[in-house]
Chain A
């Protein structure tokens, strides 16, 4: 059971918009720790997609955006493309565990 809860799967058709939620608590996201998002394509290492809740590293398309409110965060992907099919993970810090924590991951399927 992950400290950060993500839906196991989401899906969408090409061109559509999808969102992935990351639900935490007052000991992590609600404690104002930043949330980061990673994309992991099959058989590859994770790639940093969003950092500090809303920022995109150089090279990440503007189709990807992040938000945070209260004890949860979300990743939105607009203009869905076949190449977006991957696993997505949220990550933050938990002060009760004194540890970096990841969500359980969400598998995005492009229909």
Chain B
């Protein structure tokens, strides 16, 4: 069964750091682009970052550039998001998602999400 499971969310003070992990199972993880997509409370969806299967292509939303780092370990079938210098407006549920479409990116497999709360 194809599955993504996030972990590592929690409460952190402004300026602090957190590392999210996403464990993949049931599919050929290394062949897919993967993304982190977040949703602030009561708000819409925002793509935070994405990474190619071989990790040679990476991009970030302007709002997190220089603060967040995406990475992956294909041997361990895992995706990561290192979040530094966290701000109040980073508070959101962070979803790990698989990019499935061959043309314009689309996300067909999602994790349940990890809640990140940035508050003093």
Contacts and interface: CB of A to CB of B under 8 A. Distances in A.
Contacts of B108: 48, 51, 57
Given A2-B44, A102-B44, A51 B106 contact: yes
Interface in A45-69: 45-48, 51-52, 57
Contact of B106 (A91, A98, A103): A91
Given A45-B112, A51-B101, A34 B46 contact: no
A47 B110 contact: yes
B116 to A, nearest CB: 15
Contacts, number: 63
B107 A93 contact: no
B44 A92 contact: no
State which size class the interface on A falls in: 20 to 34
Contacts of B100: 48, 51
B103 A34 contact: yes
A111 interface: no
Given A34-B101, A45-B95, A99 B107 contact: no
B45 A33 contact: no
A51 to B, nearest CB: 5
B111 interface: yes
Nearest to B110: A45
Contacts of A91: 45, 106-107
Interface of A: 2, 33-36, 38, 44-48, 51-52, 57, 89, 91-93, 98-100, 102-105
